Amino acid sequence: MVRSITFLEAGYTEQFEKIVNPVTGRWRKIRFPSTVALIEHPREGYLLFDAGYSGRFHEVTRRFPEKLYAWVTPVTVSPETSAVGRLKALGIAESEVSQVLLSHFHADHIGGAGDFSRARYVASRREYDYLSGLGSVRQVKHGFLKALLPESFETRTRWVDEFPVPLRELGEGWYGSDLLGDGSIFLVPLPGHTLGQMGLFVPSVRDVDYFLVADAAWLTPSFREGIAPMRVTDLIFHDPSSYRSTLSRIHSLDCAKRDAGRLRILTCHCEVAMEKERSHAL
């Protein structure tokens, strides 16, 4: 089983809380960290779930149409606060990362992917092919900045849609693909936010089962209270009604499991939850 999970903040952006939580949120700007999960596996070594932002974002968004993304979503990240910088501070070299699992292809999840010279990637072929087939302006509209990915991306990627392993039942009507074949990490489809978004279910890490839901919910209250974001955000979703049904399923799972206290559901961008995780680790 997985030895440990450590959550790293790899850059952040700011947005109005009310837009993502119209019920209990306020009209104030809050930080949305891009969280990277560092997973230590006894056989595979270090794996990352998502790659956050890195300095490459600022290079890529100097030109049009990519510049439009940076206007709408101003990003703060430095070499020290990117995933590779955070790892270095922990004494881990970028070359020690064996796999980078990408939940989906939005820029805040793939930004640092090119910083890992020896890693294999795991991603959705359906989503990648769909986005790659769009013109450059439409790609930016979908939050996809292809230049963030390394040139060798396609040859280094294991496509989740082509996994030979069947889906395994995880309970409460959820299914996942057994990534390493040892029952330690499962890729779980979370459609709606994008075409092929996937989360990660990592059971039994020091008596905690982690379910990392990426952007299927943005903040903890979103799934805890079942609060969908304002309708204006539908503009960036691949399929708004499927997004809402995925969110509602996560809400039901949380309701069913909350009292037992073993399952920890975490979104990628909830600063409050991530600070709590970091304090658990101390």
| Positions that interact with Zn ion (CB under 5 A) | 106, 215
Q: Which is nearer to Zn ion, 106 or 146 (CB)?
A: 106
- CA–CA dist 203, 55 (Å, integer): 33
The number of C-alpha atoms within 13 Å of 29 and in the hemisphere containing its C-beta is 8
In the complex, what is the shortest distance from the CB of residue 136 to Zn ion, in angstroms, rounded to a whole number? 19
In the complex, what is the shortest distance from the CB of residue 179 to Zn ion, in angstroms, rounded to a whole number? 21
The number of C-alpha atoms within 13 Å of 43 and in the hemisphere containing its C-beta is 8
In the complex, what is the shortest distance from the CB of residue 125 to Zn ion, in angstroms, rounded to a whole number? 18
Q: Which is nearer to Zn ion, 184 or 222 (CB)?
A: 222
Q: Which is nearer to Zn ion, 104 or 264 (CB)?
A: 104
User: Is residue 175 within 8 Å of residue 168, measured between CB atoms?
Assistant: yes
In the complex, what is the shortest distance from the CB of residue 56 to Zn ion, in angstroms, rounded to a whole number? 18
Q: Which two tokens stand for residue 190?
A: 């979370």
The kind and range of the H/E element at 134 are: none
Q: Which is nearer to Zn ion, 106 or 251 (CB)?
A: 106
In the complex, what is the shortest distance from the CB of residue 42 to Zn ion, in angstroms, rounded to a whole number? 31
Q: Which is nearer to Zn ion, 9 or 44 (CB)?
A: 9
DSSP E strands: which ranges in 196-279?
A: 198-205, 208-212, 263-266
Number of H helices and E strands in the chain, helices first, is 10, 12
